Amino acid sequence: MGYTKEDVIRLVQEEDVEFIRLQFTDIFGTLKNIAITASQLERALDNKCMFDGSSIEGFVRIEESDMYLHPDLDTFAIFPWRPQQGKVARLICDIYRPDGTAFEGDPRYVLKRVLKEAEEMGYQFDVGPECEFFLYHTDDNGQPTTITHEKAGYFDLGPVDLGENARRDMVLTLETMGFEIESSHHEVAPAQHEIDFRYDDALTTADNIMTFKLTVKTIAKRHGLHATFMPKPKAGINGSGMHINMSLSRDGKNIFADPEDEVGLSREAYYFIGGLMKHIHCMTAITNPIVNSYKRLVPGFEAPVYVAWSAHNRSPLIRIPGIRTEGTRIELRCPDPSSNPYLVLAVCLAAGLDGIKNQIMPPAQVERNIFEMTDRERKELGITTLPDNLLTAVEAMESDELICKVLGEHIAKNYCQAKRSEWAQYSRNVTEWELEQYLYRI
C-alpha cells in the first residue's frame, strides 16, 4: 500500500480510531501487543514506544530489557469486529534495541534477513498458505473443550457442517481487512475447517497468517465456539496442517517453470526441492514446534511422514500442484499451524536457496503411494522419515549449521532450550493413556 506517517494519522482521524494495538510476535509464534490511544500515535510512529523485553519468553535478560517497537506502516488495519465508534486498529512492529539496531531475537527480522539474501540473488519469494483449524464448543465457564456435535467430513455443507456460519463470518471479516480469500471448506475430520487466502510476498504472508489466526479465534468466540490451531486435538482423526506453497520469481517471471521439462520444472525448482530435502529433518523443530505436532505426523491420517517428493501423488512430503507456467509452485506439507510463520518461511527459503547455490539435485520423484510400501521398499528407495518426536527434532536442528545460522545464535539457543524443557515436562507427565493401560493390571 505504501502508507506514509501522514496517511496513518489521517486514517486514524477520519475513521474515528481510538485505540491502536502495536503488535509483534515472540519466538514461539505467540502474538503480543501494546495498546495505545490515538493521542500517542505520533509518538509511536516516531518509534518511541518502549516495552520490557525481559517479560517476553525467549527475548532478553532483565538487565538488558528495554526494547523499542518500530511500526510497519503498511500493516495498518482496522479491526472490523470492534466498536464502530472509537474503533480499534493495529500496526505490526519490528523490534529494535535502544541503540537503534534490529533485535536479533525478533522472528520478523530473521525472515527479513533471509529475504534480503534472496533479493541480492535477484529473487522474490512468494508464499500461499493453507491453514486448517478446529471449531469446538466451550463449557459453561467459556473454557475450550474438544466437544463437537457434528459429524461432517470433507467438503460437506450445512446443515451437516455446523461450523458453516462461523466460517462464512470469518471469510467476510478477513475480506473486510483486505484479504483475498480463494476458498473455504469443511475438512476431513469433524469440526475441522480450512480457509485459503491468496499468495503474497513472504513477509506479507507471515503477517497475514498471524492476523488470520487472531481473526479466526475472535469470530469463533462470537459464535460461542473455540477455534484451535493445535495440530492434533483428538486421537484417531486427521490433524491440522499448514501447507506452504512456495515460488521464486525474477523480474516478475516464475523461475520454477520450464515447459520443456518432463514435469514442467526448472533446474532451480529441482535444486530448491533438493535443498528442502537436505535440511528438512533439521527444520522440523521449526515447522512442527510442539509435542503435539508429532501426534499428527503419523501414518494413516494424510499427514506427511516420509521424506520424498512427487509431481503427482499426494503422499510425499513435497508435492508439485498441477498448475504450471506462472502458477508453478512447490508445496511443503509438513508444517502445522502451531508454528511461527516468520521462522518457518525463513528456514524454508534458506534451505531452498542453499539447494540453488550448491545445485543439490533431489532423488527421483516417488509416484507410488508411500504409505502402501513396505519398510524394505522405502529403504531401497532411500526414503527416510521425519523426526518422530520433539526431542529428536531439536537434536537434529542443533546439528544443522545452516538452520542455526538462519535463526541466529540468540533464537537458536533460547528456542532449543525452551523446547527441551517442554519435552522434559511432557515426559514426566502421567497421561490418561498410561492410567488406562497400566493402573488396573500392574
167 within 8 A of 133, measured Cβ to Cβ: no
Residue whose C-alpha is closest to residue 387's, from 302, 287, 318: 287
Structure-block grid coordinates of residue 249: 520469481
Cα–chain-centroid distance for residue 139? 28
Q: Give residues with Cβ within 8 angstroms of 170, minimum separation 6.
A: 184, 195, 215, 216, 219, 220
The sign of the dihedral angle between the CA atoms of 376, 378, 381, 387 is: negative
Structure-block grid coordinates of residue 212: 488470520
Q: Which residues are catalytic?
A: 52, 130, 132, 187, 194, 243, 314, 331, 333
Q: Name the helix (H) or strand (E) containing 42.
A: helix 41-45
The sign of the dihedral angle between the CA atoms of 96, 102, 106, 109 is: positive
- Residues 437 and 442: their CA atoms lie apart, in Å, by 9
Beta strands in 26-86 (DSSP E): 31-37, 49-52, 66-71, 77-78
- Which residue type is seen at 336? D
- Angle (CA) 229-88-169 rounded to 5° is 45
